[in-house]
A = this chain, B = another copy of it.
Amino acid sequence: MRKKAATIVDVAKAVGVSPSTVSHALSGKRVISGPVKEKIFETIRELDYRPAFYAQALKNSFTGLIGVVVNECRNPGAALFLDGLAAELEKFSLKPVIGLTGLNHAMAAEMFRRFSTGLVDGVINLLPQITPEEAEELCGAIPVVTNIRESSIPVLLDYQKLTRDILEYFYSMGHRDIGYITSPTRFVLEDPTAAVMKKFYAEHGIAFDGKLVYTGDDSIESGIRGMDQFVGHRRVTAVFCGNDQMAFGVYRWAFEHKVRIPEELSVIGFDNVPQAATIIPPLTTARFPYVEIVEHTVKLLMAKLEKRQVPPGKMILEMPLIIRHSVADIS
């Protein structure tokens, strides 16, 4: 049925030349006479010869593969990132090897270990729970770019401004009871963004309520859990979420509890995934600059791969609020 794959010596033998000649014909690094070259290619087709990837990788110590480690694809934000990354890497003839770790830490470490044995030339870490230092440690000798949603790369994502924009928008629409459902690493209380919140509240005479902050995990379910926590505590008229996915969870919660969006509950998300425009009512959300971030991530990785110095200076990327229909004016 399936036969053993042909090797370069098989085709060399069949043609009656040495393996090196076949290799040269293939790579074009030496000139091989017309007739011989032709016969080689013919035989290659005949035997369906394909150079063994690992032998090549071993010899060249280069694979053309980039490991991308990510929790799960079902999160549309992550999916968008992955798709973008694949396209961007393709420009450098690199292919992504996506490692799905699920939500557990042990598997993440295992994935890094696997990548770091030379399986890939470099890795991109999309795991919010793995710090840049951990990633470096785990990757050993191979370069890694990490935490691309943060400002560790030469791009500045101004979450503080965004936080203020959102709070101002909510405030201007009359909202005073605002819940936050955060991504694991974003909008957390120790974060500079938390300072922005507290400052804003202080300025406007609103009491800060720690129970109105829930740390989610980017899943729909955690959006629902967040709402449950808030409502068990006290009434909120508005919620903002660290990503759209969790905002969808809020939508779901609202549907199940028969509360109407936006009349009874206003929602703001973050990411602007395609579904945000599709959902009803269309979700007001902040645009996450995927393409720019993807570009910069890859640029940074390329620099590391080529052992170039990382270009200094930071680029500030806007995250404009896209006003749709999920926030009501209740003032």
Which residues of A are at the interface with B, using a C-beta cutoff of 8 A?
1-5, 48, 50-58, 63, 72-76, 78-80, 82-83, 86-87, 90, 95-100, 102, 107, 111, 113-114, 116-119, 140-143, 220, 248-249, 251-252, 255, 261, 274-275, 277-282, 307
Contacts and interface: CB of A to CB of B under 8 A. Distances in A.
B277 A140 contact: no
Contacts of A83: 72-74, 100, 102
A133 to B, nearest CB: 15
Contacts of A87: 102
Contacts of A255: 278, 280, 282
Total copies of the chain: 2
A80 B79 CA distance: 11
Contacts of A80: 74
Nearest to A60: B54
Nearest to A55: B58
A50 B63 CA distance: 17
A278 B118 contact: no
A283 B307 CA distance: 51
5 contacts: A54-B58, A54-B63, A74-B83, A87-B102, A252-B278
A51 B278 contact: no
Contacts of A76: 74, 76, 79
A10 to B, nearest CB: 12
A80 B95 CA distance: 22
A311 to B, nearest CB: 16
Contact of A275 (B78, B86, B275, B282): B275
Contacts of A82: 73, 100
Given A52-B118, A53-B117, A53-B118, A2 B141 contact: yes
A274 to B, nearest CB: 6
A162 to B, nearest CB: 23
Candidate in A54, A98, A252, A282 with the most chain B CB atoms within 10 angstroms: A54
A181 to B, nearest CB: 15
Contacts of A282: 255
B73 A79 contact: yes
Contacts of A74: 76, 79-80, 83, 274
Given A54-B58, A76-B76, A140 B48 contact: yes
B53 A119 contact: yes
A248 to B, nearest CB: 5
Q: Can you list the 5 inter-chain pairs with the closest CB atoms, starting with the nearest?
A: A86-B100, A73-B79, A53-B117, A5-B141, A98-B98
Nearest to A260: B280
Contact of A140 (B5, B73, B97): B5
B95 A114 contact: yes
Nearest to A97: B97
A108 to B, nearest CB: 12
